[in-house]
């Protein structure tokens, strides 16, 4: 995986995981590192939601579906995962090789370390602790094709319907080597934007995103067995 800075540099790093939320340019999935499983998506009113478990570490996996390099500018809770700035599509991102993928495990601290993503309460989230709590609960990926490549129409990011209760923390620091490379964008606007919304199971159920199973009382049996003696 590679990462692009505003001055034209890019970072490289790489993992592969199967994805579930996809567009024409890339696929995105969330992998729970604590439970070693990909989190399923729940679609509600045209938006993709995932259930986060407080305390669990996770990673954002982006896979390039095209035969050319693409730039993925990634935000978590409205914060750029590389620079820590309030997110904007014009900022730094990761460059993916043709049909390549990247697993982003945390907030980038430098070219060798990241601080792990983990699900946590809104007040403990990195965004809230840096004075930016308004966009907690969404993961965004703005995708750019390389210059002189064909540009696809961008997909608008969906707006959140309600205030989430779960955010992403600034966790333990991990070894995560990277390097700079060059990438010239084909346009100022992203070729595609993918959005994934997350919250606790209880909060998503309360908002109607999840349909929790309703307990069903057992039906009376016509032939329950032998006749017992009456009480008393």
**Looking at per-residue confidence, does 23 or 36 come out higher?**
36
Grouping H, G, I as helix, E, B as strand and the rest as coil, residue 219 is: coil
Residue 191 has a pLDDT of 87
**Looking at per-residue confidence, does 212 or 192 come out higher?**
192
Q: What is the mean pLDDT of the chain?
A: 80
What tokens appear for 153 in the block? Answer: 């129409």
Q: Where are the domains of the chain?
A: 2-206
Rounded CA gap, 170 and 52, in Å?
15
Residue 161 has a pLDDT of 45
Tell me the DSSP string of 73-95. EEEETTEETTT-SBP-TTS-EEE
Percent pLDDT > 90 in the chain is 46
Query: How do residues 159-202 score in pLDDT, each as one tens digit?
Result: 344 667 788 988 889 888 888 888 888 888 898 888 888 888 88
Model confidence pTM above 0.75: no
Answer whether residue 5 shows pLDDT above 60.
no
- Select from 101, 104, 143, 97 the least CA-distant residue to 17: 101
Answer whether residue 221 shows pLDDT above 60.
no
């Amino acid at each position: 995986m590679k990462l692009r800075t505003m001055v034209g540099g890019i970072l490289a790093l790489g993992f592969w995981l199967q994805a579930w939320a996809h567009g024409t340019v890339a696929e995105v999935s969330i992998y729970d590192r604590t439970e070693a499983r990909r989190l399923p998506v729940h679609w509600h009113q045209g938006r993709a939601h995932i259930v986060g478990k407080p305390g669990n570490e996770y990673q954002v996996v982006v896979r390039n579906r095209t035969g050319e390099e693409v730039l993925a500018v990634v935000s978590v809770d409205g914060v750029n995962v590389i620079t820590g700035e309030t997110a904007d599509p014009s900022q730094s991102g990761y460059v993916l090789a043709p049909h390549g993928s990247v697993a982003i495990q945390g907030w980038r601290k430098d070219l060798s370390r990241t601080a792990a993503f983990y699900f946590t309460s809104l007040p403990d989230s990195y965004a809230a602790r840096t004075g930016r709590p308004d966009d907690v609960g969404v993961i965004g990926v703005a995708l750019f094709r390389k210059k002189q490549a064909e540009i696809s129409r961008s997909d608008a990011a969906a707006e959140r319907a309600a205030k989430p209760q779960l955010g992403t923390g600034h966790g333990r620091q991990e070894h995560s080597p990277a390097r700079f490379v060059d990438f010239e964008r084909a346009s100022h606007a992203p070729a595609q934007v993918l959005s994934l919304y997350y919250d606790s199971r209880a909060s998503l159920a309360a908002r109607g995103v999840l349909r929790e199973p309703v307990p069903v009382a057992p039906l009376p049996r016509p032939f329950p067995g032998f006749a017992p003696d009456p009480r008393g």
